Structure 1
């Protein structure tokens, strides 16, 4: 039996440099806030030319691992759930713009996610959380007639519910999904009068959260999102 061919792929020098720089960050040799070594130091350390170093550094920046500023040394970034999701923002928006199915999948995913967040929030909410949510509703009410401000408060309301969990990944997921949906969140509230429904439904959600009623909070969120999902149009 002839053995399978295992082809050796020659990698670009910049890919090898990227791997080594990435290991310097993930191993803790370089920590968030640290400056990256100079190009000359890296060239001597790895025995490569300046183009390979610069290409590898740009790849690190594209992945959100370092920040490159003109005239300054690149710095290692503190990775957060939010920064990770921001790396896929453009890709997600392009995907949504090209496929009606993808937009429907995102709507469904949001409903599934927010139902769970409502249950979690109902079990964990404290008075300061309820006060924050009511303050956001009050700000949203003052924004009637100003679409951008109203929508910003709407997004903040839902992200604040996710924050009650205490899990930063939940908050980042909420923020990311809402940002992607915002591309289609236009001409749907102010000009149709439906913003008043949104306010009433937000108030119902907060009442259920304040009562620590997980079933009621989930039902209120489901009612709210099922009505509003039709407003997101491609």
Structure 2
């Protein structure tokens, strides 16, 4: 026989089972929260062994499509922008670990996102949004002497501004960037002596959002992010 120019690759049985189950989920044959058929039922349905079924289920689990719990039925997960972006967590953390210079690129991306989103927030904010932002500033102020709580309130403050845009895809992406940055750059956020500056800048940002002044909101956020990016951790 001549050498084929477009050969059909041989596939593992588990890949074929994965495709069948993936199609069931995508087409809605099983809804979020519903259990998948048991391993035995899948073995009988597809004519394969238990290791093949388990490998296919593990692949679906790694994609966040199902939840596999010991002693319980495997269930289908709801697919949301947050759950989709969450699948990037592992590779993002690895990327930042093996190539730390990418943290600066990530911070640049975060800056672009937040400067655009704070302008949107200034135009779309509601009274409830303003109340939530003031409440988060009060929480952060009360946590001056608790670094972990101070940082958690900081993350929540920025995430709340992002959420005002009302775009779940943008919110998921921006929230993920915040998490990756704070996780890998947390030491720079646990300083002493800059808490009052951070709180003052947050209040200025909210004042601009309250006034629905998009230009001022962008300027205040840029000042805040640029100053934070230039901080160095204490020895």
Q: TM-score range by the shorter chain?
A: over 0.9
- Alignment deviations for residues 179-216 of structure 1 (CA, whole Å, 9 cap, x no partner): 11112343434543112111111001000000111111
Q: Which of structure 1's runs of 4+ aligned residues deviate more than 4 A?
A: none
Please, what TM-score do these two structures have when normalized by structure 1?
A: 0.94
Which structure 2 residues correspond to residues 51-200 of structure 1 after superposition, within 5 A? Answer: 51-200=51-200
Find the aligned partners of 1:93 and 1:196 in 2 and give their Cα distance.
31
Mind listing any 5+ residue stretches in structure 1 that lack a counterpart? none
Find the aligned partners of 1:73 and 1:20 in 2 and give their Cα distance.
18
Q: Which residue of 2 aligns with 1:33?
A: 33
TM-superposed CA distance for 1:232, in Å, is 7.2
Find the aligned partners of 2:187 and 2:24 in 1 and give their Cα distance.
48
Q: What SS is found at the alignment partner of 1:204?
A: helix
**How big is the alpha-carbon RMSD for the aligned residues of Structure 1 and Structure 2?**
1.7
> Comparing 133-142 with 36-45, which one deviates more in the overlay?
36-45
Please, what TM-score do these two structures have when normalized by structure 2?
A: 0.94
Mind listing any 5+ residue stretches in structure 2 that lack a counterpart? none
Find the aligned partners of 1:119 and 1:45 in 2 and give their Cα distance.
54
Indicate if the aligned counterparts of 1:185 and 1:232 stay in contact, CA closer than 8 A.
no
- Alignment deviations for residues 78-102 of structure 1 (CA, whole Å, 9 cap, x no partner): 1122222222212111211222321
Find the aligned partners of 1:52 and 1:119 in 2 and give their Cα distance.
51
TM-superposed CA distance for 1:176, in Å, is 0.8
Indicate if the aligned counterparts of 2:151 and 2:190 stay in contact, CA closer than 8 A.
no
> Comparing 140-149 with 76-85, which one deviates more in the overlay?
76-85
Q: What SS is found at the alignment partner of 1:231?
A: coil
Residue 3 and residue 116 in structure 1: after superposition, are their counterparts in 2 closer, same or farther (change >3 A)? farther
